[in-house]
Amino acid sequence: MMTLHWSPRSPFVRKVMIAAHELGLADRLELRRTVVQMSSPNPDLMPDNPLSKIPTLILEDGSVLIDSGVICEYFDALAGGNRIIPASGTDRWAELSRHALATGFLDILILWRNERNKPVHAQTANWLTSFETKSVATMRRFETSALTIGDGPLSLSSIALGCALSYLDFRYEDWNWRSDYPALAAWHEKFSKRPSAIATEVVNDS
């Protein structure tokens, strides 16, 4: 068994869990509930990941993998390769670039939420504007180049984008994004019906 430092609220943990389900590896994971906060490093996690971030994966031999993208790529290799990430060529670089955009979008959404949650007097207006501008631009990019969902496993970039859009629903209830991005809304509806997405729905367990 592999051990995953895990939380039911983390969209980055959800990325690797969806990948595990898509690749038939979920039953090889032992989930270790791990609480992380930006303002309070977790001393129990830091021996495995000094950044005190999740997901963190402990392999059967005791070695550790850090970062959701790295863990997903490891799962892809474990499942035979070329399943959620093309093995080589231009398709691979295009997929990795789409994944970087979707994951960067998720990073921005988390930073934006952290800033919005500060007392008004402590917020930085320029940061709020910047986060919103970047988020809208990214949504527009994906709206005009929506990913496809076929019969096989989801691509890594599709997993990341689906988690980002679900995070919007979880943390940005005041943003009615579906009315502005109908293609993305239709895509996310299909994503949300995947067994892997249903099995990993975010739970706010405080």
What pLDDT, in 10s, does the model give residues 159-194? 999 999 999 999 999 999 999 999 999 999 999 999
- Strand pairing category for 56-58 and 64-66: antiparallel
Q: Which residue has the tokens 């499942």?
A: 79
Alpha carbon of 101 to those of 41, 64, 107, 138, 152: distances in Å? 27, 25, 10, 8, 22
Identify the burial level of 146 via C-beta atoms within 10 angstroms of its C-beta, where 0-12 means exposed, 13-18 middle and 19 or more buried.
middle
Mean pLDDT of 126-140: 97
d(CA 6, CA 34) in angstroms, rounded, equals 6
**pLDDT for res 148:** 77
Q: How would residue 204 be classed by pLDDT, with cut points 50, 70 and 90?
A: confident
* pTM of the complete model: 0.95
The H-assigned helical ranges of 7-155 are 11-22, 68-78, 89-116, 125-144
Q: At residue 206, does pLDDT exceed 70?
A: no
Q: Which residue has the tokens 């975010």?
A: 202
Alpha carbon of 125 to those of 37, 105, 122, 128, 137: distances in Å? 23, 19, 9, 5, 18
Q: At residue 75, does pLDDT exceed 80?
A: yes
